[in-house]
Amino acid sequence: MNIQLSEHFTYKKLMRFTFPTIIMMIFTSIYGVVDGIFVSNCVGGNSFAAVNLIMPILMIIGTIGFMIGTGGSALVSKTIGEGEKEKANQYFSMLIYLLIIVGIIFSIVGFVLIKPITTILGADESMFSDCVIYGRTILIFLVAFVLQNSFQSFLIVAEKPTFGLIISIIAGVLNMLLDFLFMYVFKMGVFGAALATGISQTIAIIIPIIYFSSNNSSRLHLTKAKFDWKAILQACANGSSEMLTNVSMSLVNMLYNMQLMKFAGADGVVAYGIIMYICYIFLGTYLGYSIGTAPVIGYHYGAGNADELKSLLKKSLKLIAITSIIMTGLAELSSKLLASIFVSYNEQLLNMTTTAIRLFSISYLISGFNIFSSSFFTALNNGAVSAAISFLRTLVFQVAMIFIIPAIWGLNGIWLAVVFAEILALIVSAIFLICNKNKYQYG
């Protein structure tokens, strides 16, 4: 039986509703990790470094999907809560059509500019070709990438989180199989890795497009819609924090790579790339929970259910506190095993990566609270506060710490920079939650 957005959420019901989205985010991260494992072990360290060097730019270009998906789902769920179901479907359809148009434009521009971008990133001769090949192949499938990110959120608004999980599993398994086929069997290198990702993303959007275009049983359907620029701006404002998060993370990743080239050379870039793959899995739990609860929060905000908002916030903070301890413990205990999956062939690099994972993983104690706080305000349609938390957390504080902490502790300071950034962000999140409790009546 489907759980509806309008219900009262107990701990059990909250966990049941968000569980498919959490697993979906973790699974999506895992098949991204499989890409890295195949590239590292089948193609080599230089190709792995090339993929990690160009990836931040590809993520920046693809952030439009995160912004419209999260911001649009907040707008649509709020509109449903206000009882305007027809308008909600028009908003949903309009935003999907907008993503297709913008995705095509960004794909063409990115394809043309990928060579000078690669040069600016500092790719040496051994990386340049792989950066361009991987980047251009991913950009061909950019429309699929942005739509996949947005459908993850809209399927939750449609009260179909399990369906979203099933789609992710299908796409993920296909990606893994194609990775094996293209890289291990046919020796297609980084082109094979990118092609496998693009094909799986295409499958992941075809299924929901068919579903939402048909006479389905959910709250959402694709219909005729005119462009409502006020609603588009509202959706973009709501989702600006998620866009800022992804853009900032990508910019910060580039700064990390630059610092690591100074302190540890190409091995440092490889170690950081491994940390990012692992980080996506662990943070996927927090992201999945935040994405899963956002439509519920948005609905009850739109319906004026202050008591339910208060209950959702209180329960969420407790669940995140418990999860953060578990996540950090798992990361610390499995650090060497995780590192060895990627670089068991190089003992020096293995030791560096193991240490890096252990230091970086301390941040998991704190990051969940900051991720949820930003998502909470997105769901309340307060894009300004959400964006402020994300901007400070993922850009301002991290950029400062990347330069300050390594000056004190050297290479280990690079791995610890994120910990200090998350601590500062936690203070900001707490201030915003306290200052806005009367405005939204969740205090």
Name which of 294, 300, 22, 29 is nearest 162 in CA terms: 22
Checking if the pLDDT of 1 tops 70, the result is no
Q: Smallest Cα–Cα separation from 110: which of 72, 149, 63? A: 63
Q: Which amino acid is at 75?
A: L
Per-residue model confidence (pLDDT) at position 273:
82
pLDDT of residue 424: 97
Q: Higher pLDDT residue, 146 or 126?
A: 146
Record the tokens describing residue 320, joined without a space: 């995140």
The 10s digit of each residue's pLDDT in 145-182 is 999 989 988 998 998 988 988 998 999 899 999 999 99
Among 81-95, 227-241, 266-280, the least confident range: 266-280
Lookup: tokens for 285: 């739990």
What percentage of the chain reaches a pLDDT higher than 70?
99
pLDDT at residue 244 is higher than 80: no
Helix, strand, coil shares, percent, the chain, to 5: 85, 0, 15
Q: What percent of the chain stands above pLDDT 90?
A: 57
Stronger pLDDT, 165 or 36, i.e. the higher one: 165
Q: Is the pLDDT of residue 43 over 90?
A: no
Q: State residue 428's pLDDT score.
A: 97
Q: Residue 241, SS3?
A: helix
Side-chain half-sphere CA neighbours of 83 within 13 A: 2
The pLDDT of residue 45 is above 80: no
Distance from chain centroid for Cα 129: 27
Q: What's the mean pLDDT in 287-293?
A: 91
Cα dihedral: 259, 334, 419, 373 (round 10): 120
Backbone angles phi, psi at 224, to 5 degrees: -70, 140
**DSSP symbol at 214:** S
The string of DSSP letters for 281-342 reads: HHHHHHHHHHHHHHHHHHHHHHHT-HHHHHHHHHHHHHHHHHHHHHHHHHHHHTHHHHHHHH
Q: What tokens appear for 247 in the block?
A: 């853009």
Token pair recorded at residue 280 = 């996506």
Predicted confidence (pLDDT) per residue in 196-219, tens digit? 999 999 999 999 999 999 988 888
pLDDT of residue 127 exceeding 90, the answer is no
pLDDT digits (tens, 9 = 90+) for 430-443: 999 999 999 998 87
Angle at 44 between CA 43 and CA 49, to 5 degrees: 110
Query: From CA 188, how far away is CA 367, in angstroms rounded?
Result: 37
Q: Is the pLDDT of residue 317 over 90?
A: yes
